[in-house]
Amino acid sequence: ASIPPFSIIRRRTQEVFNVQPCLWQMKVVEAILHRERDVLCIAGTGMGKTLTFWMPLLFRPEGIQIVVTPLNLLGKQNIVALTRAHIPAISINSETATATNFHAILKLKYRAIVISPEQMMRPDGEFEKILKDTRFASHIISIVIDEAHCLTDWGEFRPEYRELARLHYLLPSIPLLVASATLTKTALNDIMRLLQMRLGNTAVLRRSSDRPNIKIGVKKIKYALNTFADLAFLVPDDYKDGDPPLPKFLVFFDNISDSIAAANSLRKRLPTPLREKIKWFNSDMSNTFKEAEFDNLTTGKTWGLCTTTSFGMGMDIPDIALVIQWRATCNLSALWQRFGRAARSRELTGTALLFAEHEYFDEERAAKAERS
């Protein structure tokens, strides 16, 4: 099949998705449509990587794109956008992995399939049977590994991530599109090895991961950790019913109990009728609850969430004003992903703050060295 010129790629993308693509996005699409090499796309949070997953569908009318994604909410978010563009799409996770849905996929009812690694790579599972169907496989344009850093970050406790290496064996002629905003050199080497990708046979498109519309700061935690008093500024002392809504915020924690305790601490600072405006959000909650809370934060019904990594990567709410990481308990890659939830709209500016324990600051270390 012919590769359309950039002028046509730009025009069709604008018509269907109402977005004018950047040059780098068109280069990603061009590389995918060539289908000769795997594609590695590294671009900052909020830059528009997701659009490159769907643009190829505009130029292969019979084609199918499969996107492997770590979080169920990302699947839901994608389906909403695709449905708006009149592209039949389905999200497959533990709740939607039904015989009816798999049959519909096999019969080519959907052109975009968003799926968890657990469903994609379940040994002898239903989706693997679909991938082995030659008629279905002939329609696949590429398989996208979204948030690819999870292969190394989460592979230990989500072993199906490691099983994605079998894709090149199952479908040797189908290219992979591997995407992330945060790949260190070590993680990149690990991913290339895990997915059996060869650098000489991979088109690499790299953009800066900088987010110039996010102001970044670090604050020392002053009060006892279990009081969360350092976060009290999120709800002003004299806040009352009828005051303007608080700016939207996310506070990230690396354990669930802290996120719940902090949310309760902040809720107590609000007038009783408004306490539901701040909630906690974590992996123990049902998909239905998570979807509802994502929508509530998007619309402004909820003002802030105290969350774990469950609300991390890829979550696309345009107007989150402030993102906080509570304590220096995650690696730099995870921190950058979390900070990247702020000000997804490029017209807005946001703030990202790391609240760190005193022992991480130079003056504290110097004082400790003097005492010893």
Q: State pLDDT tens for residues 90-116.
A: 999 888 999 999 999 999 999 999 998
- Enter the pTM of the model: 0.80
Task: Give the tens place of pLDDT for each residue, 314-358.
Answer: 577 889 999 999 999 888 888 988 998 899 888 899 999 999 999
Best CA proximity match to 76, nearest among 347, 286, 307: 286
The CATH number assigned to the domain with range 214-360 reads 3.40.50.300
CB 249 within 8 A of CB 324: yes
CB 310 within 8 A of CB 250: no
Beta-carbon contacts of residue 134 (< 8 Å; ≥ 6 apart): none
Task: Give the tens place of pLDDT for each residue, 267-305.
Answer: 999 999 999 999 999 888 887 888 899 899 999 999 999
Report which secondary-structure segment, H or E, holds 278.
Answer: strand 278-281
- What's the full length of the chain, in residues? 372
Give mean pLDDT, residues 212-219: 95
Q: How confident is the model at residue 124 (pLDDT cuts 50, 70, 90)?
A: confident
Ranges of each domain in the chain: 6-206, 214-360
- CA dist., res. 47 & res. 58, Å (int): 20
- CA dist., res. 315 & res. 295, Å (int): 11
Question: Does the pLDDT value for residue 156 go beyond 60?
Answer: no
Cα angle, residue 147 at apex, residues 90 and 173 outer, rounded to 5°: 70
Under DSSP, is residue 216 helix (H, G, I), strand (E, B) or coil? strand
Sign of CA dihedral 254, 255, 256, 257: negative
- CA dist., res. 142 & res. 100, Å (int): 24
Measure Cα distances from 15 to 12, 20, 46, 123, 224 in Å: 5, 9, 21, 40, 54
Task: Give the tens place of pLDDT for each residue, 22-68.
Answer: 999 999 999 999 999 999 999 888 888 999 999 999 999 999 999 99
Q: How confident is the model at residue 312 (pLDDT cuts 50, 70, 90)?
A: low
Give me the chain's average pLDDT, please.
90
Under DSSP, is residue 74 helix (H, G, I), strand (E, B) or coil? helix
- CA dist., res. 70 & res. 115, Å (int): 8
Question: Does the pLDDT value for residue 185 go beyond 90?
Answer: no
Beta-carbon contacts of residue 37 (< 8 Å; ≥ 6 apart): 31, 175, 201, 202, 203
Domain 6-206 has CATH 3.40.50.2000: no
Report which secondary-structure segment, H or E, holds 145.
Answer: strand 140-145
- CA dist., res. 255 & res. 250, Å (int): 15
Under DSSP, is residue 260 helix (H, G, I), strand (E, B) or coil? helix
CB 303 within 8 A of CB 235: no
- Within 13 Å of residue 67, how many CA atoms lie on the same side as its CB? 32
